[in-house]
Structure 1
């Protein structure tokens, strides 16, 4: 054989090896990647009718299960017994759109692996169990139901946490949707209608959307100022009707357009109790954006949480505020460009309750195999210090007085010491977004809560955190504490 023929033969041989390698890569090594790709309609259709494991609450209530077809035992229908109450948590496993919530976050564990793929066959040869696993959440079914029912027809969210573990006890979002309506090839129009709905029921307002937190941000400003030695609880401030924002003609006024005390002076403690805007705008400027950020960022601002699905990021734009005192004054009362998810504000309350240590939130309690044996449990993350324990104690005292003598009196629970903070933030057409954050019992906090109601809820223009969100918090906290 002469040289040219040998070179041609060698080239063909090398091309054959490349082709063999590519086929092996695609059909064997990358089989799972292509199989699980969301645009693989054939696989999505196949997986839709495969068996999936249970999703249950911490108290054993079934949120999602697969029911075998009476005529074909290999074919299953996914059902959600609790429907819309838990929809933002369970999500859905459907042909339409990408899966969400626990269904998406734990897809690899929930789905059956008896698909005869290369990786599944290897797993079977190694003796691994190919049956679907089940997921138990940290959520308490009764607390979630009360949270959802308390919101009623209003747009909003309620989040309840355990301060020392970060366990999510409830995360309700309204309006919601029934995930059962998205199961089956005939329901594509339902998905399209939900997408087009201006009320956006598919949005998880508890974790996937952020809002101006209003005065619920004030405890962060106070913590930064106290930790840095800028102010103490009894430090006095001027008590004007309006605060002039530096370098502008703009002003910040108080609720009701009046003064907060006698029009002469007011202490920081009193300012927290009555939620005095003029004081906290002044205090934010005195404290500085960078110093406030030393408290806000360890609590989770300017980042997102993985619970394990990724939440929306809450924002306190430190760099933009360092050279803009007017914007910083507005940010000191939770307005301007400050944004937070209800989950984030529940973390703020939980952190104060936990002596100033932030424990990252999570919704997984444990994974179990098909025989009910525990595979893995959630490990409580190491806490992160956000403020001194002494400062947390001071804030707790101030926030308890918000309930006993201030703007949050409608969150009082008979026989229980509650600490909280109201918030009323800019909304739409004079209809404010209203907030309430709290924890209880004060002497040994077991639960922290954040409540958000958009656009004033049923009250509208006259809504405040104290008259709309605080009563919801009281009802939900009372249920959580009773269960505890």
Structure 2
């Protein structure tokens, strides 16, 4: 029987293997533990400040607190621009995981119309400072707010903010004077102070809203809040309150402003009224107007295109940017210029045959009354608006002296203190024509300037300012729209006010004023029908601005012209003559002679300001205009 050798278990060998394995395991565990402890030590000690700050930032969030925008009042304390509570939708892109997915969800929840989707996407990607909320939609409806609240867990980084939104109670009438606020765009964002405008989505775009933006806006504040993992606010840890903007009190009179707008009755034009002694702009209307509230929240494309394509140009501020030939409204100023330069005296008389001719020139520059006015002195030249007298006067003055004297009244330059966007218009000169057209100045062009035609262009504000300076007997007071900023009164003596206009003889003022008074009260006055029943002494001057030029032997016939080719009607006035309280300029586009349409509107404005108990009825004024058969072709 073969011998079996059974292998016996080697306990010593197995023990040795176990010890090696146990030692290796111990070394691995020890190394891992050491590594873990080292890492923990590194994070807890070396990186303590960094991760402590990160942890705190995850728990604590700093939120900007936008200031309340200052209110705007008229001179009597009537609210013209207020703030109404509203809810806005904002997004912080840095807190959004998937921007495209979030935007798609928002579009679905808010049920945005097709035409607004593109604008919605543009706003979401508009350049913004890091962790600053971008405004997506203003003035959310209750239904939209409810849908967003239900789906809040699906919209990280998206917030519904309660804020105050600008609102204009008399938007259409005040749009051009007040201006409006709108969303901050990328260009504006580059120049704005990040601290002051933190959390602010709106900024003044035009008018006094833009000119006084810094004072109206105020200073932003901030608050520290504790949030949970979902970003929901749990508690407020600290706060620095914002500084509200200052309230602004304007010189405008809301009732007079509305009267001026109603008087224009939908026609294209402008009315500006100034208090001569203070420079307060009492009314500054451009018609037609527009609803400025549309621009606050963001006007839709179709509405904006409609405003742009409107032939009446409602967005165009005619009061400060409209350029019109002044027509014969400038004859009182030219008379004073010639008196100052010594080229005429109050007794200077010409014989008007109905035209004026330059030496060695066969062309006839005609008076509006083709058979002439006969013997005409300076005072009568204003009352009957004789062109021939002013052709001769302008020829004697020459364009150089004429330009110098007219700029002294503010023509060809910006005249107001705080009227944002005001135009210089144009007071032509020899140098201007050489630079503009590379041509010399011709004597016939001086004659055209002498009756307020040719290259000469004015704005309604310039014309009202010159009239106020005339009413002040040459004392310059810079026009302004604001009288108080907060509790601080804005002084009437403003810097850069032009020099006063001084005459050698004070009686010359009376000569010119007498001629202007006879425009309304004299038996030959071009606006004598407007002056019927006046309860105070009033000086005025009518004007007619040609839209296109007539040939030498052509006669103007409004019935044969398209409405937009007819002459513009102008009128300037101030009253009472002995102590002027109001100066007015009126321009009504394509309304014909200024002695009828524009004169009646100017009379209504002065009546409203001076006769508080006998304010004019707008319907009566319009009825008078419609029934008037006075076809006075005076300038």
When normalised by structure 2's length, the TM-score is 0.61
List aligned pairs for 1:244-263, cutoff 5 A.
244-245=357-358, 250-259=363-372, 261-262=373-374
Query: CA-to-partner distance for each residue in 1:104-149, whole Å, 9 max, x for gaps?
Result: 11111112421659xxxxxxxxx99721111111011111111111
- Unaligned residue ranges in structure 2 (runs of 5+): 1-63, 88-144, 146-159, 186-203, 224-239, 434-439, 549-560, 614-635
Compared CA separation, residues 109 and 69, structure 1 to 2 (3 A): same
User: 1:186 deviation in Å?
Assistant: 5.7
SS in 1 for 2:302: helix
Whether 1:468 aligns to 2:597 is: yes
Mapped to 2, the partners of 1:247 and 1:330 lie a distance apart of 18
SS in 2 for 1:257: coil
Query: CA-to-partner distance for each residue in 1:328-354, whole Å, 9 max, x for gaps?
Result: 011000000111111111112111110
User: 1:367 deviation in Å?
Assistant: 0.7
My pick for the range that moved more, 185-194 or 309-318, is 185-194
SS in 2 for 1:415: coil
Mapped to 2, the partners of 1:166 and 1:129 lie a distance apart of 35
Compared CA separation, residues 115 and 196, structure 1 to 2 (3 A): farther
**Corresponding residue to 2:515 among 366, 390, 398:** 398
SS in 1 for 2:82: strand
**Corresponding residue to 2:85 among 68, 71, 74:** 68
Tell me which residue corresponds to 1:333.
451
Whether 1:313 aligns to 2:313 is: no
Aligned length: 415
When normalised by structure 1's length, the TM-score is 0.80
Compared CA separation, residues 131 and 207, structure 1 to 2 (3 A): same
Checking the alignment, whether the CA contact within 8 Å between 1:303 and 1:315 is kept in structure 2 is yes
User: 1:310 deviation in Å?
Assistant: 4.0
SS in 1 for 2:611: helix
Checking the alignment, whether the CA contact within 8 Å between 1:352 and 1:395 is kept in structure 2 is no
List aligned pairs for 1:94-105, cutoff 5 A.
94-95=182-183, 99-105=205-211
**Corresponding residue to 1:146 among 259, 267, 289:** 259
Between the two structures, name the one with larger relative contact order (CA 8 Å, sep ≥ 6). Answer: 1
SS in 1 for 2:590: helix
Mapped to 2, the partners of 1:212 and 1:251 lie a distance apart of 21
List aligned pairs for 1:423-434, cutoff 5 A.
423-427=543-547, 430-434=565-569
SS in 2 for 1:398: helix
Tell me which residue corresponds to 1:6.
none
User: 1:244 deviation in Å?
Assistant: 2.3
**Corresponding residue to 1:303 among 413, 417, 425:** 413
**Corresponding residue to 1:291 among 401, 408, 423:** 401
Tell me which residue corresponds to 1:361.
479
Tell me which residue corresponds to 1:36.
none
Query: CA-to-partner distance for each residue in 1:462-482, whole Å, 9 max, x for gaps?
Result: x21111100000001111113
User: 1:410 deviation in Å?
Assistant: 3.8
Tell me which residue corresponds to 2:284.
171
- Unaligned residue ranges in structure 1 (runs of 5+): 1-45, 118-126, 369-373, 457-462
Query: CA-to-partner distance for each residue in 1:396-417, whole Å, 9 max, x for gaps?
Result: 1111111111012244252110
Whether 1:181 aligns to 2:298 is: no
Mapped to 1, the partners of 2:356 and 2:290 lie a distance apart of 44
Whether 1:270 aligns to 2:391 is: no
Checking the alignment, whether the CA contact within 8 Å between 1:144 and 1:171 is kept in structure 2 is yes
User: 1:305 deviation in Å?
Assistant: 2.6
**Corresponding residue to 2:171 among 75, 83, 91:** 83
Mapped to 1, the partners of 2:529 and 2:483 lie a distance apart of 33
Compared CA separation, residues 395 and 77, structure 1 to 2 (3 A): same
Mapped to 1, the partners of 2:511 and 2:400 lie a distance apart of 22
Query: CA-to-partner distance for each residue in 1:210-247, whole Å, 9 max, x for gaps?
Result: 21000011112111111222112221112022222456
Mapped to 1, the partners of 2:442 and 2:360 lie a distance apart of 9
Checking the alignment, whether the CA contact within 8 Å between 1:182 and 1:191 is kept in structure 2 is no
SS in 2 for 1:380: coil
Tell me which residue corresponds to 1:5.
none
Whether 1:137 aligns to 2:250 is: yes
SS in 2 for 1:222: helix
Checking the alignment, whether the CA contact within 8 Å between 1:433 and 1:455 is kept in structure 2 is yes
Compared CA separation, residues 217 and 326, structure 1 to 2 (3 A): same
Mapped to 1, the partners of 2:248 and 2:171 lie a distance apart of 17
